Amino acid sequence: MKHNRYTIGFDAKRANANKTGLGNYSRFVIEALSRACDNDAYFRLYIPKRKNNKEFDAIAEMPNVEAMVPRGGMWQRLSAVWRTLRVAADAKGDDVVLYHGLSNELPLGLSRRGIRSVVTIHDLIFLRYPSYYKPVDRMIYEWKFRSACKRADRIIAVSECTKRDIVKFFGTDPDKIDVVYQGCDKMFSQPIGETKRTEVQERYSLPRRYLLTVGTLEERKNLMAIVEALALLPQDIHLVAVGRRTPYTERVASRIEELGLGERVHILSDVAYTDLPAVYAASEVFVYPSRFEGFGIPIIEAMSVGIPVVAATGSCLEEAGGPSSKYVSPDDRWQMADAIKNIIADDGLRRKMIDDGRQYVERFAPENIARGVMNCYRHIGIDLTYGK
C-alpha cells in the first residue's frame, strides 16, 4: 500500500471496542482527519483485538487507513500488555512519526524511538469526584493520565474546563495544551423521515410528550434531579431516560415510586445508537443536569437534531450548549422545572433556542475539529494540509 507524506498512528482500542462515549470520539477524529488529509497522510489504527463494529470497519476500509493488531502469537495472547509495552516498537517499524492517544493514555517508549506524541484528555472527574470511583480504579487512572500528560509532546483537552483541571491537578504548563472540542455523528443533523419516527415511537413505546435525558444512569449524571423536577410539571409531561443502568438506578426508582411517577418515567437501556436521533427528535426538551462532564456530547446531539436544552451549571456544559441553552443549578429542582415550563409554554422561545442551537453546533463540524487537531500537530512539526 502506498505511503503518503506522514504516517500517523492512533490508539484505536476505543474506536473499535466502544459503541458510545470514547468510541464515538475516537471514530469521529479518525474519520475527520482521514477525509481532510486524504492526500497528505496515512493513518494506522492500533487495536489489541478486532471486534465486530460496523462504524469502525467503515473507517478502516478508507484508502488511507489501516487497522493494526498485535503481531505474533505471544503478543496476541498478551494484547493488553502489547498496548502499553509493544505498540511503540511496532509503530516505529511502521514508519509512524506521530502517535495520538485518543483516550487519555499513551504507550511507553514513544520518545525513545523518536516518535512524537499527542494525548487527548477527556476529563479528570475521578480526581474531582473521587467518591464515584473505586480506589484501585482512581489509582490506575491517575497514573495513566498523569504519565501521558508528562510524556506527551502535546495535549488536547476536549474543553476549557478539562484544560483547567489538567493544569490544576497535574501542574501541566497550560501552553502545552490545545482545546479542541468534540463533535457528534453526522446522523444527528440529517432529516428524520416519518417512517423512521413511527418505527422508533412504536419500538420503544415512547409517550406522546416527554423530556429526554441520555447517558449512563449513574449518580454523577443526576437523574434524580430531573425526576424531582418532573413532579412539578404538568401531568401529561413524561420523562424518557436512555442509558445503561447502575446501582444508582434503583435509588432513583425508589424516589419515582415515592413521588407517584411510576407511569411517567420510562427508563430505556436498550436503545440502538441509530435510533437515537429519532428519540431526540420526538422529545420536547433535552435535560442534562450532570454535576460534572468533560464536555457533554449529548447536548451537541440534541441541538443538532433541533431540541432545546436545559443543562447544569458547574462544569463545561455552557461550552457545549452555547448562549441560547438554559442553565440551572444541578441541586435546584424548582429552577429546573421553571426553565422547562418556560420552554414548553413559549413557542417563540423554543423556536429561537432551536435555531440558535443549530447555528451554534456548526463549530463542532468535522472539518472544524480536523483543523483544530491539525493545528495541535503543527505545534510539534507535523504540518498536514487540509485537502477538502
Domains of the chain: 6-183+365-378 (3.40.50.2000), 186-362 (3.40.50.2000)
Considering only 1-10, 117-126, 233-242, 377-386, which range has the smallest mean pLDDT? Answer: 1-10
Q: Is the pLDDT of residue 112 over 60?
A: yes
Q: What angle do CA 369, 370, 376 make, to 5 degrees?
A: 95
CB atoms within 10 A of CB 89: 15
Is 161 in contact with 299 (CB distance < 8 Å)?
Answer: no
Write the pLDDT tens digit of every residue in 33-49: 999 987 789 999 999 99
Burial class (CB within 10 angstroms; exposed 0-12, middle 13-18, buried 19+) of 160: middle
pLDDT of 387 reads 66
pLDDT > 90? residue 9: yes
pLDDT tens-digit map of 334-388: 999 999 999 999 999 999 999 999 999 999 999 999 999 999 999 999 998 876 5
- Measured distance CA(362)–CA(353) in Å, rounded: 15
State how far the Cα of 280 lies from the Cα of 214, in Å rounded to an integer: 9
pLDDT higher than 90, residue 3: no
Percent of the chain beyond pLDDT 90? Answer: 92
Task: Give the N- to C-terminal CA distance of the chain in Å, as an integer.
Answer: 22
> Which of 197-206, 241-250, 378-387 bottoms out in mean pLDDT, i.e. has the lowest?
378-387
Q: How far is CA 157 from CA 33, 154, 165, 288, 373, in A?
A: 17, 10, 10, 21, 11
- What cell was used for 226? 430531573
Could you tell me the pLDDT band of residue 19, with boundaries at 50, 70 and 90?
Answer: confident
**Residue 112 in grid coordinates:** 525513545
Confidence of residue 1 (pLDDT cuts 50, 70, 90): very low
pLDDT bracket for residue 2 (50, 70, 90): very low
pLDDT of residue 20: 81
| Cβ atoms of 152 and 117 closer than 8 Å | yes
Instruction: Write out pLDDT tens, residues 51-87.
Output: 999 999 999 999 999 999 999 889 999 999 999 999 9
pLDDT at 385 (0 to 100): 83
Res 132 pLDDT > 80: yes
Instruction: Report whether pLDDT(144) > 90.
Output: yes
| Average pLDDT of the residues of the chain | 94
